[in-house]
């Protein structure tokens, strides 16, 4: 079967089974083409609310599917490939954060959206990569325990010198492995290119950026910019999507190693098998867990996220 034939079968099955397909921007082009919505994790969970479909398939990693379920409890939510987890989201557990909280009484816990539903239950406020600075600024608390990403936490801390931050040493293994020498080499190879980077990268990398933002932020910036060349400091699928969308511009990966194997685990065949009932995993959670975890997202919305 060709990719096109499989895509046609998926499109038919979507209609037959009343299913909406969400694809994170790190998915491959063949999956994005059959999705109803593509974007970053939080935006997709919100988009799911606007669809009349009873069933939702999340093509991304587990915490993203959990968030779709948290915001859409009445829908049947499937993770298209159950082995797709996010190492950062699963690095810290509730017990560890409760111990740290006890050492820092009075600190508000701010959790990056890349966390499990269980970890969100101990957070006061949730943030996305694009809203983190804005939300932490809007919070009345001066003392903030930021989990789990030390790089995003450092980026926020640098923008808010008026607040006290306690950071823990979690992070994304894919973004954190990039170092400054790779940035300098990419800039030397492409001296006219703007450098767009995700804040999950280390501060030594982020400090060279012309723009820092989420996956959607990077894509929007590149689309609107007058510049013709860009070095992309996030997962390499974004380089591919941008090159398809803007053939008149040139996009260079910051490093060939910027590949998230968890995101790459999902294939078009997984989506097909999920629709036929032969694959995927339904995301379930108790109503108690859901209500407790969703509170930090409601707080984020209250603070303008």
Choices 75-83, 93-101, 170-178, 181-189 (CB under 6 A): range interacting with ligand SF4: 170-178
Q: Is 61 in the site for ligand SF4 (CB under 6 A)?
A: yes
Q: Is 90 in the site for ligand SF4 (CB under 6 A)?
A: no
Residue closest to 219 by CA, chosen among 249, 257, 182, 186:
249
User: In this chain, which of 172, 194, 222, 283 binds ligand SF4, going by CB under 6 A?
Assistant: 172
Q: Which value, in Å, is the radius of gyration of the alpha carbons in the chain?
A: 19
Q: Is 44 in the site for ligand SF4 (CB under 6 A)?
A: no
Beta carbon nearer to ligand SF4, 7 or 115: 115
User: In this chain, which of 260, 268, 274, 297 binds ligand SF4, going by CB under 6 A?
Assistant: 260
Residue 16's alpha-carbon distances to 6, 13, 31, 283, in angstroms, are 15, 5, 19, 21
Q: What is the DSSP letter of 57?
A: E
**Partner touching 62 among ligand SF4, ligand 13P, none, CB below 5 to 8 Å by kind:** none
Task: Give the full edge-to-edge strand order of the sheet including 164-167.
Answer: 125-127, 108-112, 143-147, 164-167
User: In this chain, which of 87, 137, 160, 265 binds ligand SF4, going by CB under 6 A?
Assistant: 87
**Partner touching 87 among ligand SF4, ligand 13P, none, CB below 5 to 8 Å by kind:** ligand SF4
User: In this chain, which of 115, 116, 174, 214 binds ligand SF4, going by CB under 6 A?
Assistant: 174
Residue 72's alpha-carbon distances to 44, 48, 282, 294, in angstroms, are 11, 7, 13, 11
What whole-number distance in Å separates Cα of residue 287 and Cα of residue 41? Answer: 22
- Applying CB under 6 A, which residues contact ligand 13P? 25, 40-41, 114, 128-129, 172, 198, 200, 214-215
Beta carbon nearer to ligand 13P, 42 or 107: 42
Cβ-in-10-Å burial (0-12, 13-18, 19+) of 203 comes to middle
Which residues form the interface with ligand SF4 (CB under 6 A)? 61, 86-88, 114, 172, 174-175, 200, 235, 260, 262-263
């Amino acid at each position: 079967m060709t990719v096109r034939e499989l895509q046609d079968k998926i499109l038919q099955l979507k209609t037959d089974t009343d299913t909406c397909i969400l694809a994170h921007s790190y998915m491959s082009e063949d999956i994005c083409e059959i999705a109803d919505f593509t974007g970053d994790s939080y935006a997709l969970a919100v988009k799911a609310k606007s669809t009349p479909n009873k069933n939702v398939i999340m093509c991304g990693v587990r915490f993203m599917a959990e968030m779709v379920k948290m915001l859409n409890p009445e829908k049947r939510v499937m993770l298209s490939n159950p082995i797709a987890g996010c190492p950062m989201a699963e690095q810290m557990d509730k017990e560890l954060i409760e111990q740290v909280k006890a050492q820092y009484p009075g600190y508000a816990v701010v959790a990056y959206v890349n966390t499990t539903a269980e970890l969100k239950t101990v957070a006061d406020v949730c943030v996305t990569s694009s809203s983190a600075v804005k939300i932490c600024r809007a919070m009345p608390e001066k003392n903030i325990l930021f989990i789990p990403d030390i790089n995003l936490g450092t980026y926020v801390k640098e923008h808010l010198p008026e607040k006290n931050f306690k950071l823990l040493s979690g992070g994304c293994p894919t973004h954190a492995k990039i170092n400054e020498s790779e940035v300098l080499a990419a800039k030397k190879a492409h001296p006219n290119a703007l450098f767009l980077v995700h804040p999950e990268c280390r501060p030594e990398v982020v400090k060279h950026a012309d723009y820092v933002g989420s996956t959607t932020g990077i894509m929007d910036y590149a689309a609107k910019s007058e510049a013709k060349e860009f070095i992309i400091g996030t997962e390499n699928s974004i380089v591919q999507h941008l090159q398809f969308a803007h053939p008149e511009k040139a996009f260079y990966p910051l490093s060939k190693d910027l590949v998230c194997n968890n995101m790459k685990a999902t294939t078009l065949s997984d989506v097909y098998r999920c629709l036929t009932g032969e694959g995927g995993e339904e995301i379930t959670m108790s109503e108690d867990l859901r209500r407790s975890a969703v509170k930090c997202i409601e707080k984020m919305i209250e603070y303008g996220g």
